[in-house]
Amino acid sequence: MERTEISITIDTEFTIAGAFENPDHYKPVAEPAVLCEVNGKEHGLSFLLETFDKYDISASFFVECANYFYFGDEPMRSIVQRIQTAGQDPQLHVHPCWLNFNSDPDIGNFSINDSCAGRDMEELKRIFELCIEVFVRWSGKRPEAIRTGSLVADMNLYRVMHDLNIPLASNIALGVFRPDEPELQIYSGHKLIDGVLELPVFSYQDMSIFGKKHIKSLQITSCSWPEMKYILWQARKLKIQNIVILTHPFEFIKKADFQYNGLTRNRINQNRLEKLCKFISDHDQDFISADFSQLSSTVKASSNTDDPMLNIPSYYAIGRKIHNKINDVLRFY
């Protein structure tokens, strides 16, 4: 059996930070949401790049490019260059709401709406074309994969991606957002949708002590390390080929407010990522990291997988909820 591929993906994005609701008082936030600097040390981007280098992990940074229409080329272009210099893989992330800041009538007028679902094909195609142009200018290459903002998707999205010759997608995480179309309700594995290969964020099912079932997606900030380790070994036993994990640079700090004041290190989330990377490195007979430019020919050649739903024991869910609650409530935990 080939090694199970683990694709760690990092949505690398700035934040509107209240600027739409109260523009007189709030402005969008750039570097603090990605660099996450505390007392002169970066606990976001640098922590990620250093950890991946330490354990020889390849990861994909889905870089949000529509923010160009507010900030211009900098500072995200420099962030992309740092990602590439570190040998990591940039891909395209799109939050359409940033296009509301565009002032060039030749580019077009766009609403505050941040969804990539529910748009007609021409509008969505225009949004993606503009963001691809920015991505190429920043990275020197066309993206091979797109992830939509907030992991919101519909069937139209894949038709547009196919027209734009973008072969890979990671737009689905059923624990975050559940598309209306049954064809897009994919828990794990991969599926060819209108000529585009979708690799969803891995989703699984847990159960509370009251017997209620929940669908969760595999994220550093919401899943405990014992839970992640259990999922990885179970996925290996079930011969699941690829597991996509989601995180963001800002998950590795805590903040006093949405304007990114009062930052402090998130020790728990940093430990989770480091344990994950060490696990992949220590068990290289069974697992391998794979960014979206390195997916194996086996994954790319098979258009669909029918992976079973993975269930975890209730005690993992209970332990995770307690740990996450403590971490949220105690600022310096």
Domains of the chain from N-terminus onward = 4-329 (3.20.20.370)
Sign of the CA dihedral running 35, 36, 41, 42: negative
The per-residue pLDDT for 210 is: 65
DSSP 233-247: HHHHHTT--EEEEEE
**Angstrom distance (rounded) from CA 297 to CA 175:** 28
Tokens of 301: 């050649």
36 and 42 in contact (C-beta within 8 Å)?
Answer: yes
pLDDT value for 29: 98
Distance CA 205, CA 209 (A): 14
**Per-residue pLDDT in tens (0 to 9) along the chain, 333 residues:** 799 999 999 999 999 999 999 999 999 999 999 999 999 999 999 999 999 999 999 999 999 999 999 999 999 999 999 999 999 999 999 999 999 999 999 999 998 999 999 999 999 999 999 999 999 999 999 999 999 999 999 999 999 999 999 999 999 999 999 999 999 999 999 999 999 999 999 999 987 656 678 899 999 999 999 999 999 999 999 999 999 999 999 999 999 999 999 999 999 999 999 999 999 999 999 999 999 998 877 777 777 887 888 999 887 877 887 878 888 877 777
Output the pTM of the full model: 0.96
Partners of residue 61 on adjacent β-strands: 10, 90
Nearest-10 Cα torsion for 271, 275, 281, 286: -150
Distance CA 218, CA 174 (A): 10
Query: Which helix (H) or strand (E) is 136 found in, with range?
Result: helix 121-139
pLDDT, position 320:
83
- The phi and psi torsions of 95 (rounded to 5 degrees) equal -110, 100
CA dihedral 299, 165, 171, 255 (to 10 degrees): 110
Question: What are the distances in angstroms from CA 116 to CA 8, 137, 146, 158, 282?
Answer: 23, 22, 11, 11, 39
pLDDT of 111 reads 86
Residue 292 tokens read as: 């979206």
| Contact partners, residue 46, CB within 8 Å, separation at least 6 | 35
The answer to whether the beta carbons of residues 62 and 7 sit under 8 Å apart is no
Angstrom distance (rounded) from CA 40 to CA 135: 29
| Cβ atoms 262, 317 nearer than 8 A | no
What pLDDT is recorded for position 203? Answer: 97
